[in-house]
Amino acid sequence: MAAAAIVWCAVAAASFAQAPDPFAPAGAPPAGVDPFAPGGAPPAGGNPFGPGAAPAPGANPFGPGASPAPDTAAPPSTAAPASLDPLARRIMESNPQTVDELMAAISNLANLNEGDLVKSLVAKVRQANLDENAKANLEQRWGAGLFVKLALEPRYAPEAKTFAQEVLDAAKARLTALPHLNQVVSELVVDDPAKRQAAQAELRRAGEACFTLLLNVLGDASREQDKYVAATALLGDFVEPALHASLRCDNETLQTQAMRVLGVRRHDHSLPMILGIAWYASASDTLRAAARESLTSALGGVPSAEETVGFLRRRAKQFHSGAAVGSG
């Protein structure tokens, strides 16, 4: 019994020596633990299979390979191709949406000859389902030159070419409509200079479509002929063939005003006919007076009968020899 008691006391003493000191300062290592041991090493005499050091923040507590590898692939890019012209890139990145924004972008991209980009934006404009009047407004707003370019250059075919032709056709239809031309012709003689100039420009664009209305106005004795003669003379060369042809008509008022306009314009090819009227005995006094006025405007005076005969002979020889008529 005495021996057993001695063994028990020895075991208890050893256990007490290894227990932590309850009166030790806070944070001190437990008795029997090496404070300089590497992190994660088990305490001296402790259980080597016990809990180790806490994992570092963000570390995988289950060790490598327990979670899938991070996705390092870059997200898909929505930027324009790197090879794109910098200005074209900026235009596309502005993300035009309205018809006006799209047309501005189309105009700029067409200047850069960016065929594919232009076609992609034209497709968006067509989705707006514009009516004929709206298409004509596009031509007026952005100019015929843009749409002629889109219609003619192969890089814009077929999408932009088809659309451009639709716009040009709509503009031509509105421009040559009789109600519109009547209004424009009436504005040739208004007091506002800006309106007169705009009317002249519009009639030049209309071209031959306005001939009938112009000749009707010049042949109407009730109109203010002096103003219309002056306005018609300002329109340019394109009106001269119609005026020249009207010298043979049976409307004396139209013949008279046509000669006045041709005299102001100094239309050389009409001179033989006007000279003939000036010296033609059967012509009315009104026509002869108009012919002499026309010759004075064109030549500075009326040639004598002898000068007229010599001039007409020279012209006849030029015509029959194939020389350029009007060279002398």
Q: For residues 189 and 175, give the distance between their C-alpha atoms in angstroms, rounded to a whole number.
A: 19
Report if residue 6 sits inside a domain: no
Residue 194's identity, in one-letter code, is A
Report if residue 140 sits inside a domain: yes
Could you say which of 123, 141, 174 is where a domain stops?
174
- Do 128 and 235 reside in the same domain of the chain? no
**So what's the pLDDT on residue 281?**
75
Confidence (pTM): 0.59
pLDDT, averaged per 10 consecutive residues of the chain (328 residues), comes to 45 46 50 50 50 53 52 44 77 94 96 93 95 94 94 91 95 92 93 94 91 92 89 91 92 94 91 90 90 93 89 82 58
- Do 217 and 287 reside in the same domain of the chain? yes
**So what's the pLDDT on residue 224?**
82
Domain span holding position 113: 86-174
Residue 9's alpha-carbon distances to 3, 15, 23, in angstroms, are 10, 10, 24
Please, how many CA atoms are within 13 Å of residue 196, restricted to the half-sphere of its CB? 14
Contact partners, residue 235, CB within 8 Å, separation at least 6: 200, 203, 204, 214
* Tokens representing residue 286 in the block: 């009104």
**So what's the pLDDT on residue 67?**
52
